[in-house]
A and B are shown apart, each in its own frame.
Chain A
Amino acid sequence: MKCERCNKRAVFHITDILGPAQLKELHLCEECAARYLSEPIPGTQLASSSGTSAEIELLQQWEQLHCPECGATFKDFRNTGRLGCPHDYEFFQEQLRQLLESIHGEIRHLGKVPSRLATPERRRLELARLRRQMQELINAERYEEAARLRDQIRQLEARMQS
């Protein structure tokens, strides 16, 4: 079989997942494949720039902002898809909110909390998480598991008061 981009022997047979229900078959030689595989995959760029002129103007303003801790600008983030340091989440909060919402649907953490956080803070977060989980179990009519969580919540509450 010949390469689809030049005429050498095709040694790479690639099935590309383009998106929901779209597959693309490609047969390439080694060189073309190496080039192809290092190209960015369409549609995976974060925060693509499309929008009204007012939005574009706002984006241009945002792009000038830079984090006082690490010096990264919002433009750096838009170009690379990577933030510069943990403080960027605070500093670019307003800019990131919409993006986080579109990626995750929610913008508040509900999972594990590191053990090195101050203890009362950790317990408070743990309580919030357990309560929400219990509510979900009740909604799913999984009462036995919910009861187990309720007991855990009571223990934790008692410990916080003592």
Chain B
Amino acid sequence: MRLDDLLHSTGEWLRGEGPESDVVVSTRVRLARNLADFPFPNRASALQCGEIESLLRERLQQLSETWQLTYWPLHRLSDLDRQFLVERQLISREHAHANGQRGVAIREGETISVMINEEDHLRMQAIRSGLQLDEAWREINRLDDELSERVCYAFSEEYGYLTACPTNVGTGMRASVLLHLPALTLTKQMEKLLRALQKMNLAVRGLYGEGTRASGDLYQISNQVTLGRSEEEILRSIRECVSDIVAWERNVRELLLREMRSGLLDRVHRSLGTLRSARMMSADETLELLSSVRLGVILGLLDDLTVPRVNALLLQTRPAHLQKIHGESLDSEEQDAVRARYLRAQLRHVQLN
């Protein structure tokens, strides 16, 4: 596998299929694990980081055939390639910007990625499109079982899996669901929702994880508690909560269709109009406009587009993707011009209904 081979697909998380995919973009379950005999990456020396990386890389290679894993040493990739992996949700921003020997193993189809020397020695995640918490958990649990036969994890009877940050200790599991909530955002219900989620100990983040802001009406909901509850309990509480949010978003969408049809049509078509005629277009504005277009497609207001196509545009207009497609690095103003040209070319032939 070459990294650029990924360029023209969207990967698993933007496939646009799976249960509840009109509202749920994707599901992710990640496990944090550490080796018993080493300091955590933030305190490990360069030498130790190297030892950790080669040990874990070697163990992963034993599994690479059955799990179809390809390993990328991040410290040898360019900034652009690392940013590219961040945009595909295969590594975190922190992992991209860190120093020292580190890497990521990626499964074909991008349904699994295993980061080495992120905040913890191991961060492994399973990704599914749509709402598939159990499926994602089962898969990453199996990989964890197989790895745990080969290395000795830092584990205590009392605190479970030991992690660099005490917010992950216990199960080390963070299950998150990426939701597209344009109707709740438009009708200003998000504050109410955030308040309710806070009470349930669930965290809300933007598209690119911790510390990122919500844009494009995309919200990631995940568990905050990792200690004192079993994995199944955590998954159950997220599943129940997400089902309620999905129902709420759908209700408001129907209400908008019924009560504000022309306003909604106008918004969808204005967004598409801007996307296919603008001469300068930022990545964030693209995300905002595509959100309305995506809603229009799902509500049957735009017959000539599909969710997977909208998703592909979302990804391909992110800065690193855009530069890779364009074939050279661009400053921010050049990016905006190239992005606008790319969107015009991609959307020129879309029929309006």
Contact = CB atoms under 8 A, between A and B. Distances in A.
Given A20-B198, A84-B42, A103-B166, A114 B148 contact: yes
Contacts of B213: 14-17, 37
B169 A13 contact: no
Interface residues of B, number: 65
Contacts of A30: 332
A159 interface: no
B72 interface: no
A114 B284 contact: no
Contacts of B157: 109, 121, 125
A105 B228 contact: yes
B156 A115 contact: no
Contacts, number: 164
B166 A83 contact: yes
Given A12-B284, A104-B170, A110 B148 contact: no
Contacts of B285: 11, 13
B99 interface: no
B149 to A, nearest CB: 6
Nearest to A72: B43
A58 B272 CA distance: 61
Most chain A beta carbons < 10 A, residue from B155, B206, B212, B227: B227
A100 interface: yes
A150 B156 CA distance: 26
B158 interface: yes
A76 to B, nearest CB: 8
B7 interface: no
A86 B154 contact: yes
A68 interface: no
Contacts of B233: 110, 133, 136
B194 interface: yes
A82 B42 contact: yes
A144 interface: no
Interface in B37-73: 38-40, 42-43
Interface in B274-305: 282, 284-285, 288
Given A14-B215, A21-B195, A99 B166 contact: yes
29 contacts: A11-B282, A13-B288, A14-B213, A14-B215, A15-B215, A21-B192, A46-B166, A81-B165, A84-B39, A85-B39, A85-B40, A85-B43, A86-B154, A86-B156, A104-B228, A105-B225, A105-B228, A108-B227, A109-B159, A109-B227, A110-B233, A111-B229, A111-B231, A112-B231, A114-B148, A114-B153, A114-B161, A116-B149, A133-B232
Interface of A: 11-17, 19-23, 30, 37, 41, 44, 46, 69-72, 80-86, 89-90, 96, 99-100, 103-117, 121, 125, 129, 133, 136
Closest 5 CB pairs of A and B: A106-B228, A109-B160, A86-B154, A111-B171, A104-B227
